[in-house]
Amino acid sequence: MIHSRLARGLRLRPGGTGRPGGSDQSDRTRRTSRTSRTGRTRRTAQPPRTLPRAVAAVLAAVLATVLAGCGDTGALHGAGATPTAVGPTRLWPQLPPAATPAIDYGEADTETVEGVTAPGDDIRALDPVAVVRAQVAAHPKEYTGPHAEYAETARLLADCGQPGARGRKCPVLRAYYRDLTGDGKADMVLGIRFPAHQLAVRVYTFIGHRLVQVMGTADSVVSVELAGREVIIRSPSTLPGYEFRTVWSWDPHQNAMLATRDEILRVGPPTPTGTPAPARSPSARRSSPAVPPARSPSARQASPAVPPALSPAAHRASPALSPAASTP
């Protein structure tokens, strides 16, 4: 009887040491649990686990941030004193306002290209070279006369359509198409190389089944861009580090593209102190030889008392937009 009770109480296991529980593993088990006489297991409390120091530091920082935000009531904070608004001051109010311009600048001059049509007014079906040739024929004084300023451009038109190097001399550049007038139909933008590294930029559209040039300008050009329904032309300035930027937009009242914005922008480092700017006249940059001097926009902006290098000029008209060729 005694031996059987001991056997049940000790429950020796194979490989054990003869101690109650049988093995080292049983010793570890006994430290965490005890078996009652009823057979139920009662677990003893485990020591609390500790977080790594790095994790604890991160949690503490997050908690501090949250607590700091709780103190903000969302009230408005003063940004300092507001500067006093200063309105424009009118100078010489006794002068009567002008009713008419002193010079006809030709901003809204347009020209109908005679003899050029397209089925359904599809401007993409036109040959751009044929359009330019038609305008050259309509203006012999500027292109083919004895004193024509653009005789070289007219002569190089013979190379258009030719293969190889001869074809690359064609002054008519690739045509681009974009709805600039807002009528849902494509308009044509042409570039024509002129002498003295100038570029003529022209826009054509169909109005009343007639091909009309609604924009024409020529200048030394840095770049030409289409942005939405606007033509943006960047031109070099006489001031180092500056450029002229002219934006042309469609005006439905004039049925023409107008230079709605003409500004000078700094695009590079300013001129070093003591370095004079080139004394090149803006009128040479803007005024086309084929346009009468009275219509040069630079003449309206350059004051006789201001040095030419300091007087910015507005856009200049393309030679095709002469007063005699303008559409009424």
Q: In the prediction, which pLDDT does 77 show?
A: 77
Q: Read off the amino acid at residue 285.
A: R
Q: How confident is the model at residue 132 (pLDDT cuts 50, 70, 90)?
A: very high
pTM of the model: 0.62
Highest average pLDDT, of 17-26, 37-46, 210-219, comes from 210-219
Q: What is the rounded distance in angstroms from the CA atom of residue 29 to the CA atom of residue 59?
A: 35
Out of 44-53, 60-69, 111-120, 295-304, pick the least confident: 295-304
pLDDT at position 60 is 77
Q: Residue 291 — very low, low, confident or very high, per pLDDT cuts 50/70/90?
A: very low
Find tokens 């370095």 and name the residue: 275
Band of pLDDT at residue 64, cut at 50, 70 and 90: low
Query: In which band, very low, low, confident or very high, does the pLDDT at 271 lie, cut at 50, 70 and 90?
Result: low
Q: How confident is the model at residue 157 (pLDDT cuts 50, 70, 90)?
A: very high
Alpha-carbon span 326 to 212, nearest angstrom: 10
Q: What's residue 104's pLDDT?
A: 77
Q: Taking 70 as the threshold, does the pLDDT of residue 197 lie above it? A: yes
Of all residues in the chain, the percent with pLDDT exceeding 70 is 62
The better pLDDT of the pair 139, 20 is held by 139
Residue 250's pLDDT is 97
pLDDT at residue 50, rounded to an integer? 60
pLDDT-derived band of residue 171, with 50, 70 and 90 as boundaries?
very high
3-class state of residue 323 by DSSP:
helix
* Helix, coil or strand: residue 248: strand
pLDDT higher than threshold 70 for residue 7: no
Residue 265 phi/psi, 5° resolution?
-125, 145
Encode 113-172 in three state secondary structure.
CCCCCCHHHCHHHCCHHHHHHHHHHHCHHHHCCCCCCCHHHHHHHHHCCCCHHHHHCCCE
Residue appearing with tokens 């690739």: 174
The larger pLDDT score, comparing residue 90 to residue 105, is at 90
Q: What is the mean pLDDT of residues 227-244?
A: 96
